[in-house]
Amino acid sequence: MRGKKKALLLVAHGSRLPEANQQVIALAERLTRRLNREVIACFLEIATPDIPQGIDLALAQNPDEIWVLPYFLTQGRHVQEDLPKILNEKARAYPETHIKLLDYLGAQTALEDLVAGLFDA
């Protein structure tokens, strides 16, 4: 039995500063090389591609699942309301592909370990 084919989205807020958006895109490129699978950077607002466009890019890979990692440190309104709304709309349009919203970055225990390691030197 083969494993499910996953597409990966890294979703950031988006910034008016192109350099900030480029940092997210560069992270997605590094993750693509590290994971040996494409990681697509997309943005909630201000920058492109936006989330629906990012999902369309992921769908072009013909995945069984799309995993979405909110690149947010806290669970504010964007994480609680905006992202689920956008993803649910796309999920209704493409019911054959499961879209999985992962916990936001700040909820990941690995981030806590990273921060603790900075002070444990």
In the chain the domains, ranked by start, together with CATH numbers, are: 6-119 (3.40.50.1400)
Do the beta carbons of residue 51 and residue 83 sit within 8 Å?
yes
Q: Map residue 89 onto helix, strand or coil.
A: helix
Cα–Cα distance measured from residue 112 to residue 27, given in angstroms and rounded to the nearest whole number = 19
Model confidence at 121, pLDDT cuts 50, 70, 90, reads low
Cα–Cα distance measured from residue 85 to residue 80, given in angstroms and rounded to the nearest whole number = 9
Given the residues 8, 9, 11, 13, select the one marked as catalytic: 13
* pLDDT tens per residue, range 105-118: 999 999 989 989 99
pLDDT higher than 80, residue 44: yes
Enter the pTM of the model.
0.90
* β-pair type (39-43, 65-70): unpaired
> Is 78 in the active site?
no
